[in-house]
């Protein structure tokens, strides 16, 4: 008999985590014009910041993620943070060594200033009046939190999808403040087909009569439109092979042949749509997808103003079955980095999981990422 715990892995989980709010009463100017008169940024940290503050890693989230990157608030939470399989003690992003930061993005709906927040000028939620934003705005706001924590230079920025785009913006706009970036499942710009998919998901929201030009009462918003828009987005996160493996042509048990809606894949997507609506705001969806669609670093890359030999090291990670941000886009990113002498590498994860592959454990990515972070 041993006195070790029966489930040694659970002994290595993050202790219960808590979010905090960074509040600034300064106006926050926006890239496309206008400003937010004040800013709240909800964030979480994991691990311990070294006295010289050299071990901080920022993990920007993807479209529907948030500041809750890892761990549980309470032991009986049904789910941990969205990247718990990569962030924690002894994990790829090892919180025994690194101080990890997650920040809910500006325009989001999980605590940071966004369409659901009260506009201090009116006392009422911004709603449809929330301004258009860019990923540059989102990164500039994150940087306020990083500065607030006293960190002059991040050890790394690591992000997938929209998070990877933010890592690229850190690299372009604040190259002296980041040691290395890992860009997963993203490219130098949002492709026209990815824009098209986002455009249709927005059309689903905007044509819901309850959208009212964005001026809906929270809780009485365009839930149907947002659910369908999310169903579409969800398709783009998977791959033909994962659809085949997860659902095949299986029917919902008990459905009659002439029943009009009887595919398991249909039922799964409906469920995804319904559960998304419970945690996401339609105006946030519109603002953030538009910010992603505006993302375009190709001109800066071509002009040699994205990567620099004395700037951050780069790891580009592609996922073989990702059709939203195909591996060709990550290889272009690598080419742009190596062309100007950056210490850069490309790693391809062979997976049937599609774009969502970056969220999954057991793809071999953890080992590569761990090595990259040094």
- Of 79 and 278, which has the nearer Cβ to a second copy? 278
184-210 b/e (C-beta count within 10 Å ≥ 16 → b): bbbbbbbeeebbebbeebbebbeebee
Specify whether 284 is catalytic.
no
Cβ atoms 115, 280 nearer than 8 A: no
The two tokens of residue 48 are 């311990």
Cβ atoms 314, 342 nearer than 8 A: yes
Catalytic residue among 64, 112, 161, 236: 161
- Of 57 and 168, which has the nearer Cβ to a second copy? 168
Catalytic residue among 242, 322, 347, 356: 322
Cβ atoms 371, 342 nearer than 8 A: no
Specify whether 9 is catalytic.
no
Phi-psi region of 178 (alpha: psi -120 to 50; beta: other; left: phi over 0): beta
Q: How far is the CB of 237 from a second copy (least distance, A)?
A: 11
Cβ atoms 252, 267 nearer than 8 A: yes
Q: Which residues bind a second copy (CB under 8 A)?
A: 32-34, 131-132, 189-193, 195-197, 199-200, 202-204, 207-209, 224-225, 227-228, 231-232, 235, 238-240, 243-244, 246-249, 257-258, 260-261, 263, 265-266, 269-270, 273, 286, 290, 293, 296, 323, 326
The two tokens of residue 187 are 């490219």
- Of 49 and 265, which has the nearer Cβ to a second copy? 265
Q: How far is the CB of 202 from a second copy (least distance, A)?
A: 8
- Of 12 and 210, which has the nearer Cβ to a second copy? 210
Measured at the CA of 114, the angle between CA 109 and CA 119, to 5 degrees, comes to: 135
User: How do 56-58 and 99-103 pair as beta strands?
Assistant: parallel
> What are the φ/ψ torsions at residue 42 (nearest 5 degrees)?
-90, 130
Specify whether 322 is catalytic.
yes
Q: How far is the CB of 353 from a second copy (least distance, A)?
A: 13
Q: How far is the CB of 182 from a second copy (least distance, A)?
A: 24
Distance, in Å, from the CA atom of 28 to the CA atom of 117, rounded to the nearest integer, reads 15
Q: How far is the CB of 200 from a second copy (least distance, A)?
A: 5
Distance, in Å, from the CA atom of 166 to the CA atom of 138, rounded to the nearest integer, reads 8
- Of 36 and 156, which has the nearer Cβ to a second copy? 36
Q: Which residues are designated catalytic?
A: 161, 322, 355
């Amino acid at each position: 008999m041993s006195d070790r715990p029966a489930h040694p892995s659970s002994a290595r989980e993050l202790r219960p985590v808590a979010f905090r709010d960074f509040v600034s009463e300064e106006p926050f100017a926006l890239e496309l014009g206008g400003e937010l008169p004040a800013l709240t940024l909800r964030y979480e940290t994991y691990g311990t910041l070294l006295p010289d503050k050299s071990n901080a890693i920022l993990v920007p989230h993807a479209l529907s993620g948030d500041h809750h990157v890892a761990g549980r608030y309470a032991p009986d939470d049904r789910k941990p943070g969205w990247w718990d399989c990569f962030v924690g003690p002894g994990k790829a992003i090892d919180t025994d060594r690194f101080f990890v930061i997650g920040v809910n993005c500006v325009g989001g709906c999980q605590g940071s200033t966004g369409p659901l927040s009260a506009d201090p000028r009116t006392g009422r939620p911004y709603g449809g009046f929330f301004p258009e934003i860019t990923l540059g705005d989102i990164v500039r706001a994150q940087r306020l939190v990083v500065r607030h924590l006293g960190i002059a230079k991040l050890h790394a920025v690591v992000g997938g999808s929209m998070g990877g785009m933010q890592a690229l913006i850190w690299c372009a706009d604040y190259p002296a403040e980041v040691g290395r970036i890992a860009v997963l499942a993203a490219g130098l710009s949002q492709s026209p087909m990815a824009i098209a998919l986002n455009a249709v998901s927005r059309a689903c929201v905007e044509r819901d009569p309850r959208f009212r030009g964005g001026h809906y009462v929270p809780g009485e918003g365009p839930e149907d439109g947002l659910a369908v828009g999310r169903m579409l987005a969800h398709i783009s996160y998977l791959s033909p092979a994962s659809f085949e493996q997860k659902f095949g042509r299986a029917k919902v048990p008990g459905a009659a042949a002439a029943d009009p809606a009887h595919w398991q894949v249909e039922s799964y997507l409906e469920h995804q749509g319904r559960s998304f609506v419970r945690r996401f705001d339609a105006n946030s969806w519109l603002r953030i997808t538009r910010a992603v669609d505006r993302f375009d670093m190709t001109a800066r890359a071509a002009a040699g103003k994205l990567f620099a030999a004395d700037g951050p090291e780069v790891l580009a990670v592609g996922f073989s079955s990702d059709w939203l941000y195909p591996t060709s886009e990550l290889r272009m990113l690598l080419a742009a980095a190596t062309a100007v002498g950056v210490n850069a590498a490309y790693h391809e994860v062979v997976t049937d999981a599609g774009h969502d592959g970056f969220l999954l454990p057991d793809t071999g990515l953890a080992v590569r990422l761990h090595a990259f972070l040094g």
